[in-house]
Copies of this chain bind each other. A is one copy, B any other.
Amino acid sequence: MARPLKFDPQVALENAMNVFWRQGYEATSLDDLTEAMGINRPSLYNTFGSKHDLYLAALKRYRELYSHQMIAALEAQSGLREALSGAFTAIIRSETGSGCMMVNTITETLPHDDSVAAFIQAADAETETAFAIAIARAQDRGEIDTDKNPDLLARYLNMVLQGLRVRSKSGCCSGELEHLLPIILSVLD
């Protein structure tokens, strides 16, 4: 019963996500959002609640679309080094110029927004756990020395990932960053 939505909320959300990704939270106005989403203001508030709620939803969608790709890549049954090298290369190439929305959020919004901070920290923990599990399994397969601490290496890889993301936004061309991969991964030897 009642009138149905004229637009696809998923599509609208992803359009909003792209604007937030490019411009950040504060620099994005409701006019920017409604124009990109192709809907008007009351529809936005009806479906998404508020600018803040919409941002949080966009951030979650971003993680679904992009971060989970890398976690999936880590679940390959062999060749951790190759999996890491491939996943990192993909991230470097895809984020050159635009950067990473999660990193943008950490610097802009996390310090004064508890719900955003909680989401980011949960996501970081999830990524780090995925790294640690992949490393432990690589140790079982004999790819990596068993005297290395998987949790510590996982924290290292996650930190490096953030560093690559920042550098990919601040001018380093993707080739320059890809040349770093052998050095980055040499800590696994």
Query: Which residues on A are within 8 Å of B, measured CB to CB?
Result: 22-24, 26-27, 98-99, 103-104, 106-108, 110-112, 117, 120-121, 124, 152-153, 155-156, 158-167, 169-172, 176-177, 179-180, 183-184, 186-187
Choose from B22, B24, B104, B163 the contact partner of A160 (Cβ within 8 Å).
B163
What are 23 contact pairs spanning A and B, CB under 8 A?
A22-B111, A24-B26, A103-B166, A104-B107, A104-B108, A106-B166, A107-B169, A108-B108, A110-B169, A111-B169, A121-B170, A124-B170, A153-B183, A155-B172, A155-B176, A158-B167, A159-B166, A159-B167, A159-B172, A162-B167, A165-B166, A166-B166, A186-B186
Q: Which residues of B contact A23 (CB under 8 A)?
A: 112
* Distance, CA A169 to CA B161, complexed state (A): 15
